Amino acid sequence: MNRRDFLRCCAAGAGLLLWPGVGRTAVLAQTGITQRRVVVVGGGMAGATAAKYLRLWGGAGLEVVLVEKNPTYVSNIMSNLVLSGTRTLSSLNYGYATLSSKYGVVVKQAEVTAVDGQAKTVTLSDGSRLSYDRLVLAPGIRFDDAYGLTQADYAGEFPHAWQAGPQTQKLRDQLASMQNGDTFLMTIPTKPYRCPPGPYERACLVADYLKSSGRGNCKVVVLDENPSIQAEPHNFNLAFTQTHAGIIDYRPGTTNIQVDKVNRTISFTQGGAAQVINAKVINVIPPHRAGVVAEMAGVANSAGGRWAAVDVLSYESTAVPFIHVIGDASATTQPKAGHIANQEAKVCADAIVRLLQGQQPDPAPVTNSACYSPITATTASWLTAVYQYDRSSKTMVPGGAGVVEAASISSKNFNQMNTWFTTLMSDSFA
């Protein structure tokens, strides 16, 4: 090693020792924040965005540690297109290297197994403990045992595939093995659930795949526990009654859903009548709730509520101070969606930076959400909404143009959908 190489090596090493990543993040400002640490739990849509923007806005003196249990994030968004064979699962993988190298986020691959809100520490699965000044929980959701099925059933013969990953591939394989005339049966839990248009989108793509692969005599039965279509009613009604007429059989207001695993039947009640359907593929989307770490932290509990109550000016828990909850795990009036998770993360990051500087959070935050829904392998619809803080109700309410859905299902929307997805994912992970 010559002298120049030796000096370069020492400089890089010193940077890493003093502050991981600082040598590579020269763009970060000096904001006056020093010696503070924010720990972010969960590197999904909400957590990855929060970690990135905490560093960008908090500056070089704010240490941000992102704890994520998986080495790679698999996007739920677009995962219905894996079922229909339009995308591969691997095309939905996102890593954490850029958050680390570009922004100096300290990424730890581990599961958070305990939270002590009094001592302000989290315990990781490797046994180590991290202290924090502020903690951001972004753990997404976990699923109830429901309708006679357990976690082992979901991982086995009855995948919900409502968390993209191995279950998505399994459901894809089950779908691919259907014979012409078979039935695909899916269920939708009572709202609020993850991604309001997602189940209807899934029904459309499954129907499209079956039809376009010469299995037009198949049926896609949708048992909805809700009284009606929960998102884009105009578009999905059109898709069910025209685009996929004769294949999709949509049944709102179903109750008493029960799966018979042995006979592969589902019994349920609709309009006061008890019914039973036999299905080749059974895809229940079970009711879900905030990820388990939210319960550990005491910000959500299985008895009192499924979600973590927060102040939407900062996403700080109303139950435990210095803990913020963002994304699907939080209880807000906004939809449980990846785009909104990204927006909540930014409002939260901004509020934390202000609080660490002795200021108050922005009193009038605005968030927005766009959501594209593929209807076939080449067409899509969309939904967009803007939310503003309402001082009297202390909630985010639709503002401006409110909630708007696309007036047409088109291939132009399908192309725009790909641009929207790429932009959103790079805003969160790159």
Non-local (6+) Cβ contacts of 5 within 8 A are none
Q: Is 349 exposed, middle or buried (0-12, 13-18, 19+ CB in 10 A)?
A: buried
Looking at the Cβ atoms of 115 and 266, the one nearer to ligand FAD is 115
Non-local (6+) Cβ contacts of 221 within 8 A are 183, 184, 185, 186, 249, 251, 277, 279
Task: Kindly identify the residues of this chain, within the stretch 341-360, that bind ligand FAD according to CB under 6 A.
Answer: 341
- Other beta carbons within 10 angstroms of residue 426's beta carbon come to 11
Instruction: Write the interaction track for ligand FAD spanning residues 228-267; mark x where CB under 6 A is met and - where it is not.
Output: ----------------------------------------
Near ligand FAD by CB under 6 A: residue from 61, 85, 111, 144? 111
Per CB under 6 A, 291 contacts ligand FAD: yes
Per CB under 6 A, 182 contacts ligand FAD: no
Q: Which stretch binds ligand FAD (CB under 6 A): 44-52, 98-106, 169-177, 270-278?
A: 44-52
Near ligand FAD by CB under 6 A: residue from 64, 67, 231, 348? 67
Q: Classify the C-alpha dihedral 71-141-155-80 as positive or negative.
A: negative
Q: Which stretch binds ligand FAD (CB under 6 A): 128-136, 203-211, 324-332, 396-404?
A: 324-332
Looking at the Cβ atoms of 51 and 60, the one nearer to ligand FAD is 51
In the complex, the smallest distance separating the C-beta of residue 370 from ligand FAD, rounded to whole angstroms, is 8
In the complex, the smallest distance separating the C-beta of residue 14 from ligand FAD, rounded to whole angstroms, is 30
φ, ψ at 143 (rounded to 5°):
-110, 140
In the complex, the smallest distance separating the C-beta of residue 47 from ligand FAD, rounded to whole angstroms, is 5
37 touches 10 (CB < 8 A): no
Q: At what angle do helices 198-212 and 166-176 cross, to 10 degrees?
A: 40
Near ligand FAD by CB under 6 A: residue from 308, 337, 348, 375? 337
Q: How far apart are CA 136 and CA 180, in angstroms?
A: 49
In the complex, the smallest distance separating the C-beta of residue 75 from ligand FAD, rounded to whole angstroms, is 7
Q: Which stretch binds ligand FAD (CB under 6 A): 22-30, 67-75, 147-155, 242-250?
A: 67-75
385 touches 405 (CB < 8 A): no
Helix, strand or coil, per DSSP, at residue 359: coil
Per CB under 6 A, 112 contacts ligand FAD: yes
Near ligand FAD by CB under 6 A: residue from 218, 313, 323, 371? 371
Q: Classify the C-alpha dihedral 77-82-83-84 as positive or negative.
A: positive
In the complex, the smallest distance separating the C-beta of residue 410 from ligand FAD, rounded to whole angstroms, is 17
Per CB under 6 A, 429 contacts ligand FAD: no
In the complex, the smallest distance separating the C-beta of residue 307 from ligand FAD, rounded to whole angstroms, is 11
Looking at the Cβ atoms of 55 and 339, the one nearer to ligand FAD is 339
In the complex, the smallest distance separating the C-beta of residue 422 from ligand FAD, rounded to whole angstroms, is 13
Near ligand FAD by CB under 6 A: residue from 60, 136, 146, 195? 195
12 touches 23 (CB < 8 A): yes
Q: How far apart are CA 264 and CA 244, in angstroms?
A: 25
In the complex, the smallest distance separating the C-beta of residue 32 from ligand FAD, rounded to whole angstroms, is 29
Closest CA relative to residue 369, chosen from 313, 428, 308, 420: 420
Q: How far apart are CA 81 and CA 29, in angstroms?
A: 41
Per CB under 6 A, 396 contacts ligand FAD: no
41 touches 139 (CB < 8 A): yes
Q: Is 280 exposed, middle or buried (0-12, 13-18, 19+ CB in 10 A)?
A: middle
φ, ψ at 55 (rounded to 5°):
-70, -45
Q: How far apart are CA 206 and CA 113, in angstroms?
A: 37
Q: Helix and strand tally (H, E) in the chain?
A: 11, 25
Near ligand FAD by CB under 6 A: residue from 39, 82, 106, 293? 293
Q: Which stretch binds ligand FAD (CB under 6 A): 65-73, 98-106, 179-187, 233-241?
A: 65-73
Give residues in contact with ligand FAD (CB under 6 A): 41-47, 67-70, 73, 76-77, 79-80, 111-112, 138-140, 162, 194-195, 198, 291, 293, 327-329, 336-339, 341, 371
